């Protein structure tokens, strides 16, 4: 077999796909749940950054993973709530408010990092914690699957679990029903007594929780430090992943995996002299095509419905 195909079908390749897809799965779920309620949340970038930062700082000072995780989630929810407050109560446009919050998050984290650790680049001078990897005894015996799924960071498994939790919330809880109702037709939802503003706020808060988990994974699992703007556009890529998947649980999951494959590929292709830019650009083009087809179909359905 040629070395290129061999490396793609190796377990270590698929192992790294899951590793790099995780920080996209979380925010993609966040984008998806707010999209279902009818808001486009482009603030996941900021939410992740603030949570990644909070996790590192709090764990360095308390040496307690749980307190760090809890604070990071609170921080993510805080940013999401500000977005909700400004867009829903103060009637700011949600896109513009999110752009402001991304700028805020990017600046405040570097600002505080400098104040606390006297470094504007990375937090490596702080003794922050990381989440452990997990070894499952039963997976060890299975040849290929074991190599792919075993020994991942615990947050990778939590990402899988979150896809399921997302499914449960959206399709099997009254809140999920209301979120979908508000997203599809706010006037109708409001006429049957649903508080549209409140439901949209809840969806944004949930989106903050998912985003926060993504941020925590980045700085306390994927790597062991906080770095300036370390999200590197993953909050925006998450929008692509959830649009590819039509905001559905499995769709969003596979959309995120697609980006995981591409990232892992660029790492594996580096020695093979194929321009990595050409590989890296593919998922964005795929997103544009999928988004266009999807929108064309939806708008056509609407027109047919109107007739």
Question: Which residues of the chain form contacts with another protein (CB under 8 A)?
Answer: 40, 42, 82, 86, 89-93, 95-97, 99-101, 103-104, 106-108, 110-111, 114-115, 120, 233, 236, 239-240, 243, 275, 277-278, 280-281, 284-285, 287-288, 291-296, 298-299
Residue 87 vs 128, nearer CB to another protein: 87
Cβ-contact 18, 152 below 8 angstroms:
yes
Q: Which residues contact 273 (CB under 8 A, 6 or more apart)?
A: none
CA distance 228 to 119: 10
Minimum Å distance from CB 290 to another protein?
10
Nearest to 132, CA basis, from 81, 178, 65, 179 = 65
Minimum Å distance from CB 123 to another protein?
14
Minimum Å distance from CB 306 to another protein?
14
Residue 104 vs 160, nearer CB to another protein: 104
Q: Which residues contact 27 (CB under 8 A, 6 or more apart)?
A: 44, 47, 48, 210, 211, 214, 234, 235, 238
Residue 114 vs 171, nearer CB to another protein: 114
Cβ-contact 268, 17 below 8 angstroms:
no
Q: Which helix (H) or strand (E) holds 292?
A: helix 276-306
Residue 149 vs 259, nearer CB to another protein: 259
Minimum Å distance from CB 272 to another protein?
15
| Residues belonging to the chain | 307
Residue 14 vs 79, nearer CB to another protein: 79
Determine the 3-state secondary structure of 301 from DSSP.
helix
Minimum Å distance from CB 82 to another protein?
8
Q: How far is CA 34 from the centre of its chain?
A: 12
Minimum Å distance from CB 148 to another protein?
28
CA distance 286 to 299: 20
Residue 143 vs 275, nearer CB to another protein: 275
């Amino acid at each position: 077999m040629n070395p290129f195909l061999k490396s793609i079908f190796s377990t270590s390749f698929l192992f790294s796909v899951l590793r790099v897809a995780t920080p996209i799965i979380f925010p993609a779920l966040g984008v998806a749940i707010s999209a279902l309620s009818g808001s486009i949340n482009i603030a996941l970038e900021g939410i992740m950054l603030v949570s990644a930062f909070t996790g590192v700082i709090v764990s360095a000072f308390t040496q307690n993973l749980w307190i760090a995780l809890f604070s990071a989630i609170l921080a993510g929810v805080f940013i999401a709530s500000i977005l909700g407050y400004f867009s829903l109560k103060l009637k700011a446009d949600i896109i513009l408010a999110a752009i402001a919050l991304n700028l805020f998050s990017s600046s405040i984290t570097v600002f505080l990092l400098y104040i606390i650790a006297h470094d504007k680049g990375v937090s490596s001078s702080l003794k922050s914690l990381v989440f452990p990897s997990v070894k499952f005894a039963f997976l060890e015996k299975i040849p290929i699957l074991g190599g792919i799924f075993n020994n991942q960071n615990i947050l990778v498994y939590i990402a899988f679990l979150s896809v399921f939790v997302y499914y449960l919330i959206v399709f099997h809880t009254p809140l999920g029903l209301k979120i979908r109702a508000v997203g599809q037709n706010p006037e109708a939802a409001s006429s049957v007594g649903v508080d549209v503003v409140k439901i949209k706020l809840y969806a944004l808060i949930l989106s903050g929780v998912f985003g926060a988990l993504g941020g925590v994974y980045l700085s306390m699992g994927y790597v062991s430090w906080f770095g300036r703007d370390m999200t590197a556009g993953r909050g925006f890529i998450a929008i692509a992943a959830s649009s590819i998947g039509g905001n559905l649980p499995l769709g969003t999951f596979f959309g995120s995996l697609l980006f995981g494959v591409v990232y892992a590929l660029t790492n594996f292709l580096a020695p093979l002299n194929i321009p990595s830019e050409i590989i890296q650009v593919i998922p964005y083009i795929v997103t544009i095509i999928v988004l266009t087809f999807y929108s064309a179909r939806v708008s056509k359905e609407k027109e047919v419905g109107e007739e």
